[in-house]
Amino acid sequence: MLRSVPAPAGEQRPKKTFPEFVAAVYEDPRVGHETRELLLAIGYAADLAKREEGVSVLKVARRKLGVEHGGRARYDRLMADDAPRYKPPREAADWHPSGAPSCEGPRLRPYRPRPYKPRTQTTPPDVPILRDEAIARRLPPPIVHVPAGYTPPRDWRTEDGVCGAGSHHRVLEKDPRTGWVTAHWFCKRHKDHADRVAEQVRDQNEQAPEPIPNVGGLLPCYFAADWAKVYSHYRPHWRPPRYGLAADDWPAVDDAAPRAYGRLRAINGLDLEDA
């Protein structure tokens, strides 16, 4: 039998069997296919596998994942990826200006679309020109098939009045509730707007809390062990977040009540050299 997470005072939660644990892992929307494989391997090693004396649970799980003989790179990556941390959005990365998002400043002049000019192709002098219209063939006009109710995409340059040029300046805004960041990008011509936005969010960023983790933290939701030691081994520069290691313990960003997931029995005597 597998023990569940500690229940609140006065409430008794039934223990989960291994089939119930497998069903919970597959029904958990937070678990990706690689993390699911890692969870099932550790669950099998902790509950069903016949372990030799002195062999840790994580070593058995590593064997079942097929990375025992010199191929630990994938196993190490799966463990490191589950370390609870905040991963900022892609737009907030400090990209090179050529790859940054478009400028969100106001347009300095109205946008006027240029009329399309068809290309004129010059026929080489050695190619004969057919004068007979009966022989000369013309391509039919193009036909564009769209579903019913299709509307062309909106032109944000004319409707929103956004600049849309290549960006150069980045301003990060931190959410006062979650600490998550939102990136604002401006081009070189809108540097004054970038400075103004940076000044507006300065106090808010200084008072923002530590970001709530948004990746990892799934192994502590199902197994009770010294996961801080394990994560520090596979991700050397990792630091435990103040919100806890298990994703179940993190504050709900959408103010929804966190779900409770059952845990396996405790994994005692973890040997990182065998992990």
Residue 79 lies in a domain: yes
HSE-CB at 129 with a 13 A cutoff on CA atoms is 5
Range of the domain at 26: 18-86+213-249
HSE-CB at 113 with a 13 A cutoff on CA atoms is 8
Residue 8 lies in a domain: no
Residue 223 lies in a domain: yes
Distance CA(166)–CA(168), nearest Å, equals 7
In this predicted structure, what is the pLDDT of residue 199? 94
Same domain, 100 and 169: yes
Same domain, 33 and 69: yes
The number of residues in the chain equals 275
In this predicted structure, what is the pLDDT of residue 1? 32
pLDDT digits (tens, 9 = 90+) for 173-223: 999 888 999 999 998 889 999 999 999 999 999 999 999 999 999 999 998
pLDDT digits (tens, 9 = 90+) for 25-51: 999 999 999 999 999 988 888 888 777
Q: How many CB atoms lie within 10 A of CB 250?
A: 18
Same domain, 102 and 23: no
Same domain, 162 and 197: yes
pLDDT digits (tens, 9 = 90+) for 253-275: 765 344 444 445 555 555 555 56
Question: pTM higher than 0.75, yes or no?
Answer: no
Residue 146 lies in a domain: no
Residue 3 lies in a domain: no
Same domain, 78 and 170: no
Same domain, 22 and 70: yes
Residue 124 lies in a domain: no
Q: What domain count does the chain have? A: 2
Residue 32 lies in a domain: yes
According to DSSP, residue 173 is labeled: E
Same domain, 197 and 233: no
Same domain, 204 and 169: yes
Residue 236 lies in a domain: yes
Same domain, 165 and 79: no
- Cβ atoms of 197 and 205 within 8 Å: the answer is no
Same domain, 193 and 223: no
Same domain, 194 and 104: yes
Same domain, 44 and 100: no
